Amino acid sequence: MSDSIWRSIDTAEKSDYGKMECMEMTDVAIVGGGLCGILCAWFLKDAGVDCILLDKDRIAEGTGKDAMAQVTSQHGLIYSKLLERDGEEKARMYFQANEQAIQKYRELSEQIDCDFEETSSYVYSKNDREKIEKEIDAVDRIGGKADFCETTELPFDISGAVRFPGQAKLNPVKLLNGLVKELEKHQNIHIYEGVEIDDWFRHVIWCGIHVTVADHIICTTHIPFYEKLGKYNRKLHMEESCILALGNAQKMNGMYTDEAQGGLSFRSYGDLLLMTGGMYKPESDREAHEWEKLREAAAMYYPEAKEKASWKVQDCFSLDGIPYIGSYASERKTPGLYVATGFNGWGMTSAMTAAMLLTEIILKDKFVEAKEAVNYSWKEVFSTERKILLPQYFSNIKDTISDRFSFRPQKYKK
């Protein structure tokens, strides 16, 4: 295994951030300097809000630097599922939130050079045309645009694919580095590294002797750091996937994802074709098997291709397929503490959605007249207080009881 292609082309010089004081006071503290945390700081930087962005390791070195970096509102066949399970309004809210996130990336790409490229996104099925047709109907019902395709750039036959026009792909390293370089210019943004937040109590977070007091605290640590409330250890699970970068393989304009869990996904970057597949619990016995399957598929579909890089990446999945964005547990139990997690392998748009929503809540509360504030009508769909009663929930409870800390060691094993 190697570094992701994004990491290996990252030659940017990294800044040294100053040491954190033992006691810091700020308006907003953002815990977790990955894509989501950085985007939160981005939206706060111009509002004159005093803001601390901190990470247990280095800033801008999180999961985003290993992802496929497809910016899309097409998250598998989610709209037919949402329509059936949660109704038309929720499905529409989810769609609108993600479309707004893409639009924000479009705007951002005018300021930050990140190889942003508009393209179509496809979810294909190898053997179930009906599922694809159902998704197209669902998207149509909620006011989106999707069409049916049988002919694609894929190296195998399919029963059909849903095409979303107006989606995008980018280079996450350029994006993250560009954002951080801009943030560094703002005196109200203070960045600290090597600070692993252990605990929270009423507007206070700490890491050993370092204590930060903030009116608002945003947790963007991928896996939420505070275990006593919110039940995230039961509501989330980690999954890992393998990615290959192939040279001398076909170039693809679109981005392709199998509707089947763990199926193959494809996108090109320059001369490389990125191909991902498999989905397994981190450290499970299935890892070697998934790598073998992915390499076999690469050899079968692209016999002339050469493997240039291979890496794996983890993401945090929610049980109902929707991220948690909002108050950590509830306004009453965790005042001033917010969370964004459970991005389900779609953290480019979800991180943006989260940053837009959480900073709006904070700005509205603290600085902006209510009438001036943006009101994201879709926020309810991401509510952290929504009820879920699914078999996975009970299975997670069992795991938690049998191994109180089974959830924690899965953090960031790369």
Binding stretches for ligand FAD (CB under 6 A)? 31-37, 54-57, 61-64, 67-70, 196-197, 220-222, 225, 241, 243, 276, 313-315, 343, 345-349, 351
Of 38 and 134, the one with the shorter C-beta distance to ligand FAD is 38
Of 191 and 329, the one with the shorter C-beta distance to ligand FAD is 191
Can you give 112-126 as a three-state secondary structure string?
Answer: CCCCCEEEEEEEEEC
Of 57 and 365, the one with the shorter C-beta distance to ligand FAD is 57
> Nearest distance from residue 413's CB to ligand FAD, in Å?
12
CA–CA separation, 273 and 268 (whole Å) = 4
> Nearest distance from residue 340's CB to ligand FAD, in Å?
7
> Nearest distance from residue 174's CB to ligand FAD, in Å?
15
The total of other beta-carbon atoms located within 10 Å of residue 105's CB is 20
Phi, then psi, of 63 in degrees rounded to 5: -55, -30
Element (H, E) at 257: strand 255-258
The CA distances from residue 177 to 8, 93, 160, 269, in Å, are 14, 31, 38, 18
CB 357 within 8 A of CB 376: yes
Of 55 and 290, the one with the shorter C-beta distance to ligand FAD is 55
> Nearest distance from residue 95's CB to ligand FAD, in Å?
15
CB 116 within 8 A of CB 122: no
> Nearest distance from residue 138's CB to ligand FAD, in Å?
20
* Burial (CB count within 10 angstroms: exposed 0-12, middle 13-18, buried 19+), residue 66: buried
> Nearest distance from residue 175's CB to ligand FAD, in Å?
11
Q: What is the DSSP letter of 18?
A: P
- At position 181, the amino acid (one-letter code) is K
3-state secondary structure of 74: coil
CA–CA separation, 381 and 41 (whole Å) = 23
Of 67 and 322, the one with the shorter C-beta distance to ligand FAD is 67
Q: Please give the structure tokens belonging to residue 149.
A: 């395709």
Of 64 and 326, the one with the shorter C-beta distance to ligand FAD is 64
Of 134 and 312, the one with the shorter C-beta distance to ligand FAD is 312
Q: Please give the structure tokens belonging to residue 297.
A: 């598929």
Largest CA distance in the chain: 61
Q: Please give the structure tokens belonging to residue 307.
A: 């493997």
115 torsion bin: left (phi>0), alpha (psi -120 to 50), beta (else): left
Of 49 and 243, the one with the shorter C-beta distance to ligand FAD is 243
Of 135 and 315, the one with the shorter C-beta distance to ligand FAD is 315
The CA distances from residue 244 to 4, 169, 265, 273, 392, in Å, are 9, 17, 10, 8, 30
Place of tokens 């998250």: 75
CA–CA separation, 30 and 82 (whole Å) = 31
> Nearest distance from residue 395's CB to ligand FAD, in Å?
21
> Nearest distance from residue 33's CB to ligand FAD, in Å?
5
Of 134 and 319, the one with the shorter C-beta distance to ligand FAD is 319
Q: Please give the structure tokens belonging to residue 44.
A: 């706060």
> Nearest distance from residue 217's CB to ligand FAD, in Å?
11
> Nearest distance from residue 369's CB to ligand FAD, in Å?
30
Of 70 and 410, the one with the shorter C-beta distance to ligand FAD is 70
> Nearest distance from residue 402's CB to ligand FAD, in Å?
24
Place of tokens 């706060």: 44
